[in-house]
Amino acid sequence: MKICATSDTHGYFPEIPDCDILCVCGDISPANQSHTICHQTKWFNEFYIPWINSLKCQVVVIPGNHDFLFLPNNLKYVDKSPKNFHLLIDSACEIDGIKFYGSPWVTGLNAWAFNTDKQKEYFSSIPEGLDMLITHSPPRIAGIDIDASLDDICHGGSRFHWGSFALTTEIEIKKPNYCIFGHIHTGLHAPVKYNDTTLINVSYLNEQYVPKFPPIIFDINNK
């Protein structure tokens, strides 16, 4: 089973290589346009849905902190009609024997979508036995820069690491085969093995919102 993964596309439509399942780890909405729910919903229904329809693979999407259109009170206006489209918000799906779970939560970003100070509560719902855990936030693991915001430091910021210790704890307990994520554009993009889990930052853009990291592709065994 060929998996392709990307994140933080922010209005871009990257070229997707041949694959069976595409996973998108949030922040699909354009960064250079209005973040109003109405505008985002119109853009998604008129541009993103046709793009999904054009793909020959299954598409699994979770929201990110830029994606206000996926907040609960607006979901009824979001087109979810494509048969190959799976939207996961603290929920799971299984495709050809591959088990997925998606969770969009971040922390430390007041006034943004899916921001919370209760990540531990949300992430505790992650089930065991997953092939693919899809999150917007990276985990925080000492000595590994998958969550390192290089741009924040370069511009005088004080926060280098943006990952979640709460997510790391659940990964240690639940042991998914993979955890893929984005959110921090300049984090280390090479796959990292952490205990039983392969961690991969799959952000598409750099911190200047310019495409830099192509979607990754890898094989996973379906049962």
pLDDT of residue 184: 86
CA distance readout (Å), 101 to 94, 150, 151: 9, 29, 30
Architecture of domain 2-219: 4-Layer Sandwich (3.60)
pTM: 0.94
Quick one: DSSP state of residue 138?
A: P
Tens of pLDDT, residue by residue over 173-200, are: 999 999 999 998 887 888 999 999 999 9
pLDDT of residue 147: 74
pLDDT band with cut points at 50, 70 and 90 for residue 113? very high
The whole-number average pLDDT for the span 215-219 is 97
Minimum mean pLDDT range among 15-29, 85-99, 131-145: 131-145
pLDDT band with cut points at 50, 70 and 90 for residue 154? very low
Tens of pLDDT, residue by residue over 5-15, are: 999 999 999 99
pLDDT beyond 60 at 157 = no
Alpha helices for the chain (secondary structure H): 37-43, 49-54, 119-123, 150-154, 165-174
The SS3 call for residue 130 is coil
Compute the distance between CA of residue 47 and CA of residue 157 in angstroms, rounded to an integer.
35
Q: What are phi and psi of 175, to 5 degrees?
A: 55, 55
